A and B are shown apart, each in its own frame.
Chain A
Amino acid sequence: MATEFPAHHYLNDGYGIKSWLLTRDHKRIALLYLIAVTFFFFVGGAFAVLIRLDLATPPGDLVSDDTYNQLFTMHGVIMVFFFLIPAIPAILGNFLVPLMIGAKDLAFPKLNLLSWYIYIIGGLMGVYVLLTGGLDTGWTMYAPFSTRFSTTRVVPAALAIFVTGFSSILTGLNFIVTIHKMRAPGMGWFNMPLFLWSTYATSLINILGTPVIAITALLVAVERLFRFGFFDPALGGDPVLFQHLFWFYSHPAVYIMILPAMGVISELVAAFCRKPVFGYSFVAFSSLGIAVLGFLVWGHHMFVAGQSVYASLIFSMLSFLVAIPSAIKVFNWTATMYKGSVSWQTPMLYAIGFIGLFTIGGLTGLFLASIGVNVHVTDTYFIIAHFHYIMVGGTIMGYLGGLHYWWPKISGRLYPEGLSKLSAAIIFIGFNLTFFPQFILGYLGMPRRYHAYPPEFQVLNVLSSAGASILGVGYLLPMFYLAWSLRYGKPAGANPWGASGLEWTTTSPPPTENFPVTPTVTESPYHYPSPVVKHVA
Chain B
Amino acid sequence: MHNHTTAHPALAHHFDSLDQQQEAASLGMWVFLLTEILFFGGLFLVYTIYRGWYPQAFASASHHLDIPLGTINTAVLIGSSLTMAMAVHAAQLNSRKGIMVFIVLTMVLGTVFLGIKGLEYSHKFHEHLIPGLHFEYAAEPQFVRHAQIFFSLYFVMTGLHAAHMIVGMGLMTWMLIWTARGVIGNGYYSPVEIVGLYWHFVDIVWIFLFPLLYLIGRHA
Q: Given A212-B42, A228-B156, do A105 and B28 touch, yes or no (CB 8 Å)? A: no
* Residue on B nearest A106 in the bound complex, by CB: B14
Classify the secondary structure of A's interface with B. Answer: helix
A237 to B50, CA, bound (A): 8
Q: Which residues of A contact B131 (CB under 8 A)?
A: 226-229, 235
Q: Given A226-B133, A230-B152, A238-B49, do A173 and B41 touch, yes or no (CB 8 Å)? A: no
Contact status A229-B42, CB under 8 Å = no
B32 touches which of A109, A173, A229 (Cβ 8 Å): A173
Q: Which residues of B contact A245 (CB under 8 A)?
A: 42, 45-46
Contact status B49-A173, CB under 8 Å = no
In the assembled complex, the CB of A147 is this many whole angstroms from the nearest CB of chain B, namely 11
Q: Which residues of A contact B132 (CB under 8 A)?
A: 226-229, 235
Contact status B39-A180, CB under 8 Å = no
The 0/1 profile, CB within 8 Å of B marked 1, for residues 194-216 of chain A is 00000000000001111110111
Contact status A176-B149, CB under 8 Å = no
In the assembled complex, the CB of B148 is this many whole angstroms from the nearest CB of chain A, namely 6
A180 to B16, CA, bound (A): 14
Q: Which residues of A contact B146 (CB under 8 A)?
A: 236
The 0/1 profile, CB within 8 Å of B marked 1, for residues 234-253 of chain A is 01111001000100000000
A226 to B125, CA, bound (A): 14
Q: Does B145 contact A (CB under 8 A)?
A: yes
In the assembled complex, the CB of A241 is this many whole angstroms from the nearest CB of chain B, namely 6
Q: Does A222 contact B (CB under 8 A)?
A: yes
Q: How large is the interface on B (under 10, 10 to 19, 20 to 34, 35 or more residues)?
A: 35 or more
Contact status B35-A208, CB under 8 Å = yes
Contact status A209-B148, CB under 8 Å = no
Contact status A228-B31, CB under 8 Å = no
Contact status A180-B27, CB under 8 Å = yes
The 0/1 profile, CB within 8 Å of B marked 1, for residues 92-113 of chain A is 0000000000011111110100
Contact status A182-B43, CB under 8 Å = no
Contact status A219-B46, CB under 8 Å = yes
Q: Does A177 contact B (CB under 8 A)?
A: yes
Contact status B145-A211, CB under 8 Å = no
Q: Does A169 contact B (CB under 8 A)?
A: yes
Q: For residues 108 through 158 of chain B, which have their beta carbon under 8 Å from a beta carbon of chain A?
A: 131-133, 145-146, 148-149, 152, 155-156
Q: Does B66 contact A (CB under 8 A)?
A: no
Q: Given A227-B132, A229-B148, A236-B145, do A222 and B156 touch, yes or no (CB 8 Å)? A: yes
Q: Does B20 contact A (CB under 8 A)?
A: yes
* Residue on A nearest B159 in the bound complex, by CB: A222
Q: For residues 1 through 45 of chain B, which have their beta carbon under 8 Å from a beta carbon of chain A?
A: 12-14, 16, 20, 23-24, 27-28, 31-32, 34-36, 38-43, 45
Q: Which residues of A contact B133 (CB under 8 A)?
A: 226-227
Contact status B41-A212, CB under 8 Å = yes
Contact status A181-B42, CB under 8 Å = no
A513 to B49, CA, bound (A): 51
25 intermolecular pairs with C-beta atoms under 8 Å apart: A108-B24, A109-B12, A109-B14, A169-B35, A173-B32, A182-B14, A207-B31, A207-B34, A211-B35, A211-B38, A212-B38, A212-B42, A223-B152, A227-B131, A229-B132, A229-B145, A229-B149, A229-B152, A230-B46, A230-B149, A230-B152, A235-B145, A236-B54, A236-B146, A245-B45
Chain A interface (Cβ within 8 Å of chain B)? 103-109, 111, 169, 173-174, 176-178, 180-182, 207-212, 214-216, 218-219, 222-223, 226-230, 235-238, 241, 245, 513, 518
Closest 10 CB pairs of A and B: A227-B132, A228-B152, A211-B39, A215-B42, A104-B14, A105-B14, A236-B145, A211-B38, A181-B24, A107-B24
4 extra interface residue pairs, beta carbon distance < 8 Å, beyond A181-B24, A211-B39, A228-B152: A107-B28, A236-B148, A238-B49, A513-B14
